[in-house]
Amino acid sequence: MSTYIVGDIQSCFEGLQRLLKKVDFSPINDHLIAVGDLIGRGTQPLETLDYLYSLEDSFDTVLGNHDLHLLAIYAGIRKTKPSDNLDSLLTSPQLKTHINWLRQKPLALMADQDTLVTHAGLYPQWSVKKALKVSLEISEELQAENWKEFLTNMYGNQPSAWQKSLLGAQRLRLLLMP
Ligand SMILES: [Mn+2]
């Protein structure tokens, strides 16, 4: 069994397939971990999410800013831009399934006992333990019934520096802007 960690896939379904073929990736034996930004910019967001979703337990990811942007578009907080290239996904009957699937994904995970996976690095003042704790806190918010409200708060401008007292969406904002 091998574990492969891939960078920003960004809707590049065909490129991902070529890469997986090159390493002879087997969903039955191997594990694939993405570092976030599964979609965004590239032209095949629906194919990409359909495929990654189909891998079930053979796939893990953390959320990237483009994934959160998609959640915000779905929640009606952000407007989609032509450069997002998300139309095929946004008009798909699979959209809700994929949104709910992404809402279950963390912001940080351990690929093995020595390897932390995050999308945009680690806030310098944080330990690995702290990052995992904040990730868990954010996941609880994203999985909650009022997750849209939580995301609305995330798109504010303040605060711009980490403080221990920050809660919820403000923590998430900082986590996403190293
Ligand atoms: Mn990114």
- Going by the DSSP 8-state scheme, the letter that residue 30 receives in this structure is -
Number of residues written out for the chain: 178
Ligand 1 center to residue 65 CA distance, Å?
A: 5
Q: How far is the CA of 69 from the centre of ligand 1 (A)?
A: 10
Q: Domain residues of the chain, as ranges?
A: 3-175
- Note the pLDDT tens digit of each residue in 132-160: 998 998 899 899 999 998 888 777 655 56
Place domain 3-175 in its CATH homologous superfamily: Metallo-dependent phosphatases (3.60.21.10)
- How far is the centre of ligand 1, averaged over its atoms, from the C-alpha of 109 (Å)? 16
Residue 70: the pLDDT is 96
Confidence band, pLDDT 50/70/90 cuts, at residue 22: very high
Burial class (CB in 10 A: 0-12, 13-18, 19+), 98: buried
Rounded to the nearest angstrom, the distance between the alpha carbon of 177 and the centre of ligand 1 is: 10
pLDDT category of residue 178 using cuts at 50, 70 and 90: very low
Instruction: Assign 116 to helix, strand or coil.
Output: strand
> Cα(62) to centroid of ligand 1, in Å?
11
From the CA of 39, how far away is ligand 1's center (Å)? 10
What is the 37 CA–ligand 1 centroid distance (Å)?
6
Determine the pLDDT at residue 176.
56
- Percent helix, strand and coil across the chain, each to the nearest 5: 45, 10, 45
Residue 72 Cα to ligand 1 middle (Å): 15
Mean pLDDT for the stretch of residues 85-108:
97
Calculate how far, in angstroms, residue 145's C-alpha sits from the geometric centre of ligand 1. 26
pTM: 0.89
CA of 31 to the centre of ligand 1 (A): 22
163 has pLDDT over 80:
no
